[in-house]
Structure 1
Amino acid sequence: MKLLHKQIFFELLRLFGLTVSCLLGLILIGRMLQLRSLFLSQNIGFFNILQLFFFLMPFFLLLITPIATMLSVFLTFLRMSTDNELTALKANGVSLYKMLPAPILFCTLCTLFTFAISFWGLAWGMDMFKVKLYDFAKTHSKFALQPGVFNKEFPGITFYAHQVDNEKGELKFAFVRDESIKGTSVIVTAPEARIVSTPETAEVKVIFNKGKIFRQDGDELNILKFGTYSVKLDLGKLLGGFNFTEQKAKDMTFERLSEIRRMPSSAPSASPRFYRKVDTEYFKRLTLPLGCLILGLFAIPIAYVFRGLKQQYGLVMAMGLFLVYYSMFSIGVSMGESGSIPPIYGLWLPNILYVLIALLGIKYANEERTLPVVDWITHMKSKGGLST
Structure 2
Amino acid sequence: MLTIIDKYILKKYLTTFGVMLGLFAPIGIVIDVSEKINKMIENKIPVVDILIYYYHFTIYFTNLLFPIFLFLSVIWFTSKLANDTEIIAILSSGISFTRFLRPFIIGASIVSIIILLMGFFIVPKSSEGFNNFRYTYLRGDGKQAMRGESTDVFRQISNDEFIYVNSFDVASKTAYNFTYEKFTKDKLAYKISASRIQWNPKTKRYTLYDYVKRTVGGLDDKIEKLDKKEAKFNFDLEDLTPVVYIAETLSLVKLNRFIEKEKKRGSSNVNVYLVVLYKKYSIPVSAFILTIIAVSVSSMKRRGGMGLSLAIGIAVAFSFVFFDKIFGTLAEKSSFPPLLAVWFPNIIFGILAIILLRNAKE
Structure 1 residues 253 and 37, CA gap change in structure 2 (3 angstroms): farther
Describe how 1:346-357 pairs up with structure 2 within 5 A: 346-357=341-352
CA-CA distance at 1:99 after TM superposition: 1.5
1:128-165 CA-to-partner distances (Å, cap 9, x unmatched) read 4467789x97xxxxxxxxxxxxxxx747xxxxxxxxxx
CA-CA distance at 1:302 after TM superposition: 0.8
CA-CA distance at 1:256 after TM superposition: 2.5
Matching residue's letter, 1:296 = T
Picking from 259, 262, 280, the partner of 2:257 is 259
Describe how 1:181-330 pairs up with structure 2 within 5 A: 199-201=172-174, 245-246=241-242, 248-264=246-262, 271-272=267-268, 274-305=269-300, 307-330=302-325
**SS of equivalent to 2:336:** coil
Q: How many Å separate the matches in 2 of 1:132 and 1:63? A: 18
CA-CA distance at 1:47 after TM superposition: 5.7
Q: How many Å separate the matches in 2 of 1:11 and 1:254? A: 32
Q: RMSD over aligned Cα, in angstroms? A: 3.1
CA-CA distance at 1:2 after TM superposition: 0.9
Q: Which moved more, 1:38-47 or 1:62-71?
A: 38-47
Q: How many Å separate the matches in 1 of 2:263 and 2:351? A: 39
Q: How many Å separate the matches in 2 of 1:132 and 1:342? A: 32
CA-CA distance at 1:48 after TM superposition: 4.0
Structure 1 contact 107–292 (Cα < 8 Å) conserved:
yes
CA-CA distance at 1:351 after TM superposition: 0.6
Q: How many Å separate the matches in 2 of 1:306 and 1:346? A: 36
Structure 1 contact 81–308 (Cα < 8 Å) conserved:
no
Structure 1 residues 7 and 337, CA gap change in structure 2 (3 angstroms): same
1:84 maps to 85
**SS of equivalent to 2:41:** coil
Q: How many Å separate the matches in 2 of 1:359 and 1:257? A: 34
1:241 maps to none
CA-CA distance at 1:310 after TM superposition: 2.4
Structure 1 residues 89 and 133, CA gap change in structure 2 (3 angstroms): closer
CA-CA distance at 1:46 after TM superposition: 5.3
Structure 2 contact 60–130 (Cα < 8 Å) conserved:
no
Structure 1 contact 8–76 (Cα < 8 Å) conserved:
no
CA-CA distance at 1:328 after TM superposition: 0.9
CA-CA distance at 1:13 after TM superposition: 2.0
Describe how 1:1-388 pairs up with structure 2 within 5 A: 2-44=3-45, 48-129=49-130, 154=143, 199-201=172-174, 245-246=241-242, 248-264=246-262, 271-272=267-268, 274-305=269-300, 307-367=302-362
CA-CA distance at 1:296 after TM superposition: 1.0
1:213-244 CA-to-partner distances (Å, cap 9, x unmatched) read xxxxxxxxxxxxxxx979xxxxxxxxxxxxx9
Unpaired stretches in structure 2, ≥5 consecutive residues: 145-170, 177-194, 197-225, 229-239
Matching residue's letter, 2:51 = L
Greater Rg over alpha carbons, structure: 1
Structure 1 residues 311 and 275, CA gap change in structure 2 (3 angstroms): same
1:101-127 CA-to-partner distances (Å, cap 9, x unmatched) read 211111111111111121111211133
Aligned-residue identity in percent: 18
Structure 1 residues 280 and 88, CA gap change in structure 2 (3 angstroms): same
Matching residue's letter, 1:275 = V
Q: How many Å separate the matches in 1 of 2:133 and 2:319? A: 36
Structure 1 contact 69–292 (Cα < 8 Å) conserved:
yes
Structure 2 contact 68–318 (Cα < 8 Å) conserved:
no
Unpaired stretches in structure 1, ≥5 consecutive residues: 138-152, 156-197, 206-227, 231-243, 368-388
Instruction: Provide the aligned length of Structure 1 versus Structure 2.
Output: 274
